[in-house]
């Protein structure tokens, strides 16, 4: 059976990562999200078990003690983690998995080397545009916006550690580039754009 590919995607909050991923995942078959656990509260429209597994801080710490996370990190005073069992099961099914995590989590995965992955960083054109997008949400306090801007500046400096860098200035161009990276990685693994393996009969 063909094992899926893991795509690690990171971006500063407000870079447009969620919009890009949703667009690309609607176009490319066999591509799924790894649903992370988090202690933060759901945003408007987010669903438990779909966008994240929303758990209490106590539940999260218990999962850490049980060794259930591939990686976890404290981001903006909230905990985020990736379940080892869930992501492994998806890959074994032959699905390509999008792992949407921050730069701390991505660094842990690179250090551990437990799973081979393609690392993609999505960046806004600059910090001025990042601030405009964060304020445009209208969902966060001034304190939270300033925290996200400070963290965003640090996160953008980590872009050089990723194999691919996408500047999300034009949403259509950025989505096309992200889709192209995923399809190119499938071709590199001798798989069709659909994700299915290329038949050996092609070479006989």
- The CATH class of the 6-35+95-203 domain is alpha beta
Distances (CA, A) of 169 to 16, 21, 173, 194: 9, 15, 8, 28
Q: Are 159 and 123 a contacting pair, CB within 8 Å? A: yes
Supply the pLDDT for residue 25.
94
pTM of this prediction exceeds 0.85: no
Supply the pLDDT for residue 9.
96
Supply the pLDDT for residue 202.
65
Beta bridge partners, 167, equal 123
**Residue 116, number of CB atoms within 10 A of its CB:** 10
Q: In angstroms, rounded to a whole number, what is the distance separating the alpha carbons of residues 130 and 153?
A: 10
- Highest-confidence segment of 40-44, 73-77, 134-138: 40-44
Supply the pLDDT for residue 201.
65
- Mean of the per-residue pLDDT values for the chain? 89
Q: In angstroms, rounded to a whole number, what is the distance separating the alpha carbons of residues 108 and 73?
A: 9
* Range name among 72-76, 98-102, 172-176 with the lowest pLDDT average: 72-76
Q: In angstroms, rounded to a whole number, what is the distance separating the alpha carbons of residues 119 and 110?
A: 9
Supply the pLDDT for residue 113.
79
Q: Are 32 and 182 a contacting pair, CB within 8 Å? A: no
Q: Are 149 and 134 a contacting pair, CB within 8 Å? A: yes
Supply the pLDDT for residue 174.
96
| Res. 115 pLDDT band, cuts 50 70 90 | confident
Supply the pLDDT for residue 204.
59
Supply the pLDDT for residue 50.
83
| Res. 22 pLDDT band, cuts 50 70 90 | very high
Residue 23 has pLDDT above 90, yes or no: yes
Residue 16 has pLDDT above 70, yes or no: yes
Residue 85 has pLDDT above 90, yes or no: no
Supply the pLDDT for residue 203.
67
> pLDDT above 90 covers what percent of the chain?
48
Supply the pLDDT for residue 40.
95
Beta bridge partners, 120, equal 9, 164
């Amino acid at each position: 059976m063909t094992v899926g590919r893991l795509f690690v995607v990171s971006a500063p909050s407000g870079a447009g990562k969620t919009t890009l991923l949703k667009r690309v995942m609607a176009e490319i078959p066999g591509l799924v999200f790894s649903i992370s656990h988090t202690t933060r509260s759901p945003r408007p429209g987010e669903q438990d078990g779909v966008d994240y597994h929303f758990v209490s801080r106590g539940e999260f710490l218990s999962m850490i003690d049980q060794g259930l996370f591939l990686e976890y990190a404290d981001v903006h005073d909230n905990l985020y983690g990736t379940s080892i069992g869930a992501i492994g099961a998806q890959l074994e099914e032959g699905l390509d998995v999008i792992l949407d995590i921050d730069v701390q989590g991505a660094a842990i995965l690179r250090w551990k080397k437990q799973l081979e992955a393609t690392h993609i960083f999505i960046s806004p054109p600059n910090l001025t545009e990042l601030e405009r997008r964060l304020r445009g949400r209208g969902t966060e306090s001034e304190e939270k916006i300033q925290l996200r801007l400070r963290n965003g500046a640090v996160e953008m400096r980590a872009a050089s550690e990723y194999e691919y860098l996408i500047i999300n200035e034009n949403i259509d161009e950025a989505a096309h580039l992200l889709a192209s990276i995923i399809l190119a990685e499938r071709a590199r693994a001798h798989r069709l754009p659909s994700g299915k393996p290329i038949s050996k009969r092609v070479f006989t």
